[in-house]
Chains A and B, each alone.
Chain A
């Protein structure tokens, strides 16, 4: 039986503009994407590309002009499906008079969690986002980063099957970003599919295995990151491998000494080299690390946007 995708949209379009005499603005144009189960899916695009619109459509906060969207095999308007989704909006706002734990308790009640579950889960998620110390502080006094953490806490409260995050890394300091990436990885390991939009391409490349690029409401490309980005070779890191270097050096494109007895060699990706290096890795387990090197997502992103904008705009943005 074919596995049901976690998110599936078909020709999803959205036009904004409430007044009939005003020209309606096309925010999303015939978007068709599929997010497989277990993926960490990066949803990329410049400002105004339609990322937040798509996420709002998936969360049934706005209604599509045409097309359809399904989440976890059910139509987005079905409220029962939202019990299995965690959502973090782009600028999380909460009632400033509530304390962090009060707010999370309200969210837990809305997710129909029992009192015993709430008592266990609320401190647990506060711990996950490192906010236990501020549990009884009012949300009104929290910084943007702290609010973002509380936003993440409420999103993972129900141990969701799907986590939808709208610009989760925005406004976070490097520590906060590191923490959030850790949480995303942890959630993914627990079996949660993560779908998130971001502008920080290096982070997306670091944690995502799938990505889609959107520009002016249109999908430019979508798929596995490995299929989208061109391979730039295979990198082999050798620890305590002075003798191995001598054998490998003639075929290597590049060779760098990284430390005493530590080397990094780069090879061109061919079926032969892949097979040989894999055998080498198995033979010298612990000494040899083989990593495929990809084209940078940033270069790929600008190339795609540039192509779509007809050359100049993407170039300017990159500059």
Chain B
């Protein structure tokens, strides 16, 4: 287990060392804050607009964070960085789990920063208290990164380097739309139903969401991720590392 944490810590640190991550978080917060100025153009719905924008951009940040797996794993395999680690007493499955946990931690840090920043902006602009429901909805966004991470890992180990990010992005997009597309085989089947993690209207209209729902959704996400990770592990185990 220690090796998994080492790989996770390494993956997480390497991304969080990049200044561009904090620059993008700052850009997101500026964009969220600028929504306050849209009171006229939005016919005084700027509060809803600000909340919607903060949740949407946080979702995008989560997707981009986990998508980095589809670049990171193939790059490490191509450049031989992974080979150096894998030739220590590290199983391939542990390497994958380490990567997944590390990138998930990155998604958590980035989403938390955006959530805290957005909440401070909201609280300084509007008097309506939304703290608890806001935390719950942001938590769902962070939890949505669990199945997404596993999809990205699967794509990273199964497809060529050029195709992996595109296929992963399409899979995440379809997973978010399965409810609306009404494709039975996809809807919560091959792809996870990411709509379950999207409860933005609850925070906008201040409708409470029970903790049991969050727990159930989290378990669904974890179960899906474990299954996909096992599949990814088998594929990765059979693969030749050039």
Q: Find the B residue at minimum CB distance from A158.
A: B88
Are A61 and B88 neighbours in the complex by a CB distance under 8 Å?
A: no
Give the chain B neighbours of A59 by CB distance below 8 A: 83, 87
A77 to chain B, nearest CB (A): 9
Give the chain B neighbours of A60 by CB distance below 8 A: 87
Answer yes or no: A257 CB below 8 A from chain B CBs: no
Interface residue ranges of A14-55 to B (CB < 8 Å): 16
Are A94 and B89 neighbours in the complex by a CB distance under 8 Å?
A: no
Answer yes or no: B215 CB below 8 A from chain A CBs: no
A297 to chain B, nearest CB (A): 28
With A63-B240, A97-B17, A98-B14 already in contact, the answer to whether A110 and B83 are too (CB < 8 A) is no
Interface residue ranges of A144-203 to B (CB < 8 Å): 151, 154
Answer yes or no: A109 CB below 8 A from chain B CBs: yes
Q: Find the A residue at minimum CB distance from B89.
A: A83
Query: CA A97 – CA B80 in complex, angstroms?
Result: 15
Are B89 and A61 neighbours in the complex by a CB distance under 8 Å?
A: no
Are A112 and B10 neighbours in the complex by a CB distance under 8 Å?
A: no
Are A61 and B17 neighbours in the complex by a CB distance under 8 Å?
A: no
Are B88 and A110 neighbours in the complex by a CB distance under 8 Å?
A: yes
Query: CA A92 – CA B85 in complex, angstroms?
Result: 11
A interface residue count range (under 10 / 10 to 19 / 20 to 34 / 35 or more)? 20 to 34
Are A107 and B84 neighbours in the complex by a CB distance under 8 Å?
A: yes
B2 contact from A79, A95, A112, Cβ within 8 A:
A112
B interface residue count range (under 10 / 10 to 19 / 20 to 34 / 35 or more)? 20 to 34
Are A109 and B87 neighbours in the complex by a CB distance under 8 Å?
A: no
Are A56 and B241 neighbours in the complex by a CB distance under 8 Å?
A: yes
Give the chain B neighbours of A107 by CB distance below 8 A: 84-85, 88
Are B241 and A109 neighbours in the complex by a CB distance under 8 Å?
A: no
B6 to chain A, nearest CB (A): 4
Are B80 and A109 neighbours in the complex by a CB distance under 8 Å?
A: no
Are A91 and B241 neighbours in the complex by a CB distance under 8 Å?
A: no
Interface residue ranges of B60-116 to A (CB < 8 Å): 79-81, 83-91
Answer yes or no: B185 CB below 8 A from chain A CBs: no
Query: CA A316 – CA B65 in complex, angstroms?
Result: 54
Query: CA A154 – CA B14 in complex, angstroms?
Result: 19
Answer yes or no: B238 CB below 8 A from chain A CBs: yes
Answer yes or no: A291 CB below 8 A from chain B CBs: no
Q: Find the A residue at minimum CB distance from B98.
A: A110
Are B89 and A80 neighbours in the complex by a CB distance under 8 Å?
A: yes
Are B14 and A112 neighbours in the complex by a CB distance under 8 Å?
A: no
Query: CA A94 – CA B84 in complex, angstroms?
Result: 8
Are B14 and A83 neighbours in the complex by a CB distance under 8 Å?
A: no
Q: Find the B residue at minimum CB distance from A164.
A: B87
A133 to chain B, nearest CB (A): 23
Give the chain B neighbours of A123 by CB distance below 8 A: none
Answer yes or no: A111 CB below 8 A from chain B CBs: yes
Are B240 and A82 neighbours in the complex by a CB distance under 8 Å?
A: no
Taking Cβ atoms with an 8 Å cutoff, the residues of A that contact B are 16, 56, 59-63, 79-80, 82-83, 85, 87, 89, 91-95, 97-98, 106-107, 109-112, 151, 154
Taking Cβ atoms with an 8 Å cutoff, the residues of B that contact A are 2-3, 6-7, 10, 14, 17-18, 79-81, 83-91, 238, 240-242
Known A-B contacts: A79-B90, A107-B88. Give 4 more (CB < 8 A).
Answer: A60-B87, A63-B238, A93-B84, A112-B3
24 contacts between A and B (CB under 8 A): A61-B86, A61-B87, A63-B238, A79-B91, A82-B87, A89-B83, A89-B87, A93-B79, A93-B80, A93-B81, A94-B81, A95-B10, A95-B81, A97-B18, A98-B10, A106-B6, A106-B10, A109-B2, A109-B3, A110-B3, A110-B90, A112-B89, A151-B84, A154-B84
